[in-house]
Every structure is written in structure tokens, then in C-alpha cells.
């Protein structure tokens, strides 16, 4: 199997999801805490002890679509500054290929 075929079934850490979305890890942490983005948690959803947040590829795709609404103007400028040239277009193309392959 190639990496693109495994991507939809793999669990991604917060750091990996942040890297894939080209945002800061702390931004994802804040959005997870506010429960404003899709994510997965281990443990009892109604219990006090919920540890181990992770993301599926579908979560990452959904967050990517939500980014314009989630990010403040300042975050948008920061993300554009830290983005390698052409990476966002390349990443969107890859996401499009993965989602259309299903």
C-alpha cells in the first residue's frame, strides 16, 4: 500500500495535523479545547478524564475547509508567512486527489 492509500485510516497526532494544515500546534490545541473542530478522543466522552486527542484524515480535511472561519486575521497573516512557497496549492491538490479517489 502506498502512503496516500493509508492516509484515510491512520491516526494523526496534533503536531502531525498542524503540520499537514500548516498551522501552529497551539492553534489546534485551542480549537480542540473549545470543541470547534472535529477530532477524536480516547476515554469516556462524558467522563472527566479524557486523554489522547488524535485526528483522522477526514478530520484534517474538514478542518482545512473550516480554516478561513477559524483563523483570525492575525493568524492568517502568520500562516502565510510560515508557509513554504507553493505548499498550500500542492497540499490542496493532494487532498482533492485523495477525496475524489473514494
3-state class (DSSP) for residue 46 = coil
pLDDT band at 76; cut points 50, 70, 90 = confident
- Contact at 8 Å (CB) between 21 and 55? no
pTM assigned to the model: 0.65
**Containing H/E element for 41?**
strand 40-42
Distance separating alpha carbons of residues 55 and 61, to the nearest angstrom: 10
- Tell me the per-residue pLDDT of 12-43, one tens digit each, with 9 for 90 and over: 999 999 999 988 999 999 999 888 999 998 76
Q: What is the CB neighbour count within 10 angstroms for residue 16?
A: 15
Amino acid at each position: 500500500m502506498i502512503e496516500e492509500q493509508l492516509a484515510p485510516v491512520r491516526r494523526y497526532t496534533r503536531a502531525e495535523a498542524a503540520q499537514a494544515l500548516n498551522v501552529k500546534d497551539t492553534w489546534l490545541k485551542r480549537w480542540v479545547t473549545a470543541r470547534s473542530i472535529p477530532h477524536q478522543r480516547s476515554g469516556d466522552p462524558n467522563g472527566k478524564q479524557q486523554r489522547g486527542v488524535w485526528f483522522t484524515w477526514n478530520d484534517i480535511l474538514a478542518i482545512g475547509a473550516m480554516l478561513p472561519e477559524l483563523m483570525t486575521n492575525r493568524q492568517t497573516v502568520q500562516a502565510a508567512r510560515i508557509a513554504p512557497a507553493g505548499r498550500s496549492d500542492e497540499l490542496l491538490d493532494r487532498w482533492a486527489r485523495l477525496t475524489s479517489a473514494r
